[in-house]
């Protein structure tokens, strides 16, 4: 009888990328060579599993208390043991009435935790839901992974605090290097719609009369690959927004059967400024949930004014049984988008342990 | 056939071929579906091509590949669509029922346990190497491996090999 390690190896050895997938990547590598650049790495999206919150929640910086209130409040409750490693930075930039400040940094070997605050000096554009909307970048002269997430908000000063965590690859000390953190836009006024009942009578869902071929821009689900062939699939032709859909910022633009499957379509206008999104699911009389079979997205047009992002959820429930289900969904929307140009360059200094 | 060892100045194509299986298998171990593994595989190497990171040595490059694979699968898994929409039925065509059963059994484990199992039993990484790669405490990795083994006790056959490094 084989041991687990042998069984596992036997199983996982059969897993490998298919030739087409590998060729696709190799072609990208080949074409990428022509554009080879040695500029410093820049991340637009968080790529590290964020773990530093717990670490940095256990730090305190009394010396910053008066000048950097949100950071102080964030750290107030915890041990001062590592406070000596945090250095005040307090370099700031202001644009469009919003001030971005690098409050403090903690360098430990090849890792850095940096607190950034953003404060609205003139209005209410910063709130407890402010999201940098993947628009930030962290430029540094070493190979590393970085992430940024909101860790606090102070209502009184309208200041949101973000934690940037950077880990250099290779165990090289990073103290002495400079990094630049910049932000070009953010969204706020986020609202969560969790597990809401959608007032649609599913028993009236009929076979769709108006359908069209669309180019899918992405999707998911177990049957996604089965029904999206060479990037194309069949969707409902969007109709006028239906009344009574309870999510502001997302419209219900279609519901009907195509090929024996229930399609439900939503639309968001100018979503690059909002990131409104969500998903549907069904519940039967017992409250049991039926997840979608697959989902896909498509656009009316690309980067032009008037862009509409459509999402279509598809359920594998026969038409004659759909009346036994109730439609539910969970969604996230935002109501405000702010643009600007905030950029701070600062040195990574290691504090001397006392 | 085991690929030849890489040299620091090897071209991207050679690096991709060298790490293709490692990245894909880890992605599959994390997600349990072929289409997700495909997606993560592409994302990891497109990042590699785009960023062209410089590494001190091959161990450094391998750690980068593992970490970015984990990050990309986190990102995929955290998507609101994926959370609800991704069942575990898009499986590989394994040779034997035993392989299929093992794959199914592993998919019942929490994701964080599956990656530890994979790195420990397949990549032969020590707890210390895994903790570095996953940016987790050594004690956390040890606990996760212990718990994963407990959950898998019906299929694990304890022996010296299994006890390695614990």
Determine the pLDDT at residue A209. 93
Minimum mean pLDDT among A70-74, A155-159, B50-54, B74-78: which range? A70-74
Query: Taking CA B80 as the corner, what is the angle to CA B136 and CA A150, rounded to the nearest 5 degrees?
Result: 55
How many CB atoms lie under 10 A from the CB of residue A247? 20
Minimum mean pLDDT among A11-25, A66-80, A86-100, A147-161: which range? A66-80
Band (pLDDT 50/70/90 cuts) for residue B19 is very high
With H, G, I as helix, E, B as strand and everything else as coil, classify residue A194.
strand
Encode pLDDT of B85-94 as tens digits: 444 445 577 8
B52/A38 touch (CB, cutoff 8 Å), yes or no = yes
Task: Report the C-alpha gap between A56 and A271 in whole angstroms.
Answer: 34
Please give, rounded to a whole number of angstroms, the shortest distance from the CA of B36 to a CA of chain A: 9
- Strands A294-299, A218-220: pairing kind: antiparallel
Token readout for B39 is 């997606």
Nearest to A200 by CA among A257, A245, A261: A245
Token readout for A130 is 């402010």
Determine the pLDDT at residue B67. 85
Mean pLDDT for A210-235 is 84
pLDDT higher than threshold 80 for residue B1? no
**For all residues of chain A together, what is the average pLDDT?**
77
Determine the pLDDT at residue A67. 42
Band (pLDDT 50/70/90 cuts) for residue A320 is very high
A220/B45 touch (CB, cutoff 8 Å), yes or no = no
Task: Give the side-chain half-sphere CA count within 13 A for B106.
Answer: 31
Encode pLDDT of A60-112 as tens digits: 333 333 344 445 444 443 334 445 556 677 789 999 999 999 888 887 777 78
Band (pLDDT 50/70/90 cuts) for residue A31 is low
* Cβ-Cβ contacts under 8 Å for A78 (sequence gap 6 or more): A57, A58, A59, A60
A248 in Cβ contact with A333 (< 8 Å) = yes
A186 in Cβ contact with A118 (< 8 Å) = yes
Mutate which of A2, A9, A11 to test chain B, going by most B C-beta atoms within 10 A? A11
Q: What is the 3-state secondary structure (H, E, C) of A101-139?
A: EEEEEEEECCEEEEEEEEEECCCCCCCCCCECCCCEEEE
Task: Report the C-alpha gap between A213 and B50 in whole angstroms.
Answer: 33
- As for the ipTM of the complex, it is 0.85
B71/A170 touch (CB, cutoff 8 Å), yes or no = no
B:28-47 residues touching chain A, CB 8 A cutoff: 28-29, 33, 35, 37-38, 41-42, 45-47
With CA atoms as reference, the chain B residue closest to A172 would be B56
Strand partners, A164: A114, A148
First to last CA, chain A: 59
Minimum mean pLDDT among A11-15, A78-82, A329-333, B33-37: which range? A78-82
Band (pLDDT 50/70/90 cuts) for residue A233 is very high
Q: Which long-range contacts does A14-20 make (Cβ < 8 Å, 24+ apart)?
A: A14/B92, A14/B94, A14/B95, A14/B99, A15/B21, A15/B24, A15/B25, A15/B28, A15/B37, A15/B92, A16/B20, A16/B21, A16/B24, A16/B25, A17/B20, A17/B21, A17/B24, A17/B37, A17/B38, A17/B41
Please give, rounded to a whole number of angstroms, the shortest distance from the CA of A14 to a CA of chain B: 7
How many CB atoms lie under 10 A from the CB of residue A232? 13
A:59-98 residues touching chain B, CB 8 A cutoff: none
A:185-214 residues touching chain B, CB 8 A cutoff: none
What percentage of chain B carries pLDDT values higher than 90?
Answer: 8
pLDDT higher than threshold 50 for residue B120? yes
Mean pLDDT for A255-281 is 90
Token readout for A125 is 């554009």
pLDDT higher than threshold 60 for residue B9? yes
Q: Which residues of A16-32 are buried (b: 16+ CB within 10 A; e: fewer)?
A: bbeeebbebbbebbeeb
* Cβ-Cβ contacts under 8 Å for A227 (sequence gap 6 or more): A233, A234, A294, A296, A314
pTM for this model (two decimals): 0.51
């Amino acid at each position: 009888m084989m041991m687990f390690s042998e069984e596992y190896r036997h199983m996982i050895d059969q897993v490998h990328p298919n030739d087409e997938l590998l060729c696709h990547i190799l072609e990208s590598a080949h074409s990428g060579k022509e554009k080879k650049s040695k500029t410093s790495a820049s991340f637009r999206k968080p790529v590290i599993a964020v773990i530093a919150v717990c670490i940095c929640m256990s730090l305190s910086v009394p010396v910053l208390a008066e000048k950097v209130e949100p950071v102080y409040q964030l750290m107030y409750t915890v041990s001062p043991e590592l406070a000596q490693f945090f250095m005040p930075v307090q370099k700031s930039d202001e644009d469009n009435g919003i001030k971005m400040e690098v409050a403090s940094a903690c360098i430990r070997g090849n890792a850095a935790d940096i607190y950034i605050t953003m404060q609205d000096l003139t209005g209410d554009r910063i709130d407890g839901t402010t999201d940098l909307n993947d628009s930030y970048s962290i430029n540094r002269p070493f190979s590393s992974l970085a992430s940024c997430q909101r860790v606090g908000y102070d209502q009184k000063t309208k200041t949101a605090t973000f934690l940037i965590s950077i880990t250099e690859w290779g165990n090289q000390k990073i103290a002495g290097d400079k990094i630049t953190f910049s932000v070009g836009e953010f969204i706020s006024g986020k609202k969560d719609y969790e597990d809401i009942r959608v007032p649609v009578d599913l028993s009236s869902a009929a076979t769709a009369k108006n359908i069209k071929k669309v180019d899918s821009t992405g999707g998911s689900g177990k049957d996604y690959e089965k029904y999206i062939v060479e990037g194309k699939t069949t969707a409902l032709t969007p109709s006028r927004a239906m009344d009574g859909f309870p999510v502001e910022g997302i419209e219900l633009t279609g519901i009907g059967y195509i090929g024996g499957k229930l399609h439900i379509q939503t639309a968001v206008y100018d979503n690059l400024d909002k990131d409104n999104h969500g998903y549907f699911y069904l519940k039967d009389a017992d409250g049991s949930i039926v997840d979608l079979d697959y989902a896909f997205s498509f656009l009316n047009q690309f980067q032009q004014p008037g862009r509409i992002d459509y999402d279509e959820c598809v359920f594998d429930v026969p038409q004659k049984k759909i009346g036994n289900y109730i439609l539910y969904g969970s969604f996230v929307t935002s109501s405000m988008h702010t643009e600007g140009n905030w950029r701070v360059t600062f040195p990574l200094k290691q504090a001397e342990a006392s | 056939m085991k690929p030849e060892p890489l040299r620091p100045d090897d071209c991207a194509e050679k690096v991709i071929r060298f790490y293709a299986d490692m990245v894909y298998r880890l992605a599959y171990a994390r997600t349990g579906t072929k289409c997700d593994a495909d997606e993560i595989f592409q994302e990891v190497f497109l990042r590699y091509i785009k960023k062209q990171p410089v590494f001190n040595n091959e161990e450094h490059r391998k750690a980068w590949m593992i970490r970015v694979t984990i990050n990309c699968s986190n990102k995929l898994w955290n998507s609101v669509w994926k959370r609800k929409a991704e069942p575990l039925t898009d499986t590989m065509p394994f040779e034997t029922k035993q392989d299929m059963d093992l794959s199914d059994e592993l998919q019942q484990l929490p994701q964080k346990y599956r990656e530890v199992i994979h790195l420990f039993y397949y990549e032969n990484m020590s707890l210390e190497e895994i903790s570095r790669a996953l940016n987790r405490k050594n004690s956390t990795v040890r606990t996760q491996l212990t718990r994963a083994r407990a959950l898998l006790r019906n299929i694990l056959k304890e022996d010296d090999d299994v006890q390695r490094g614990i």
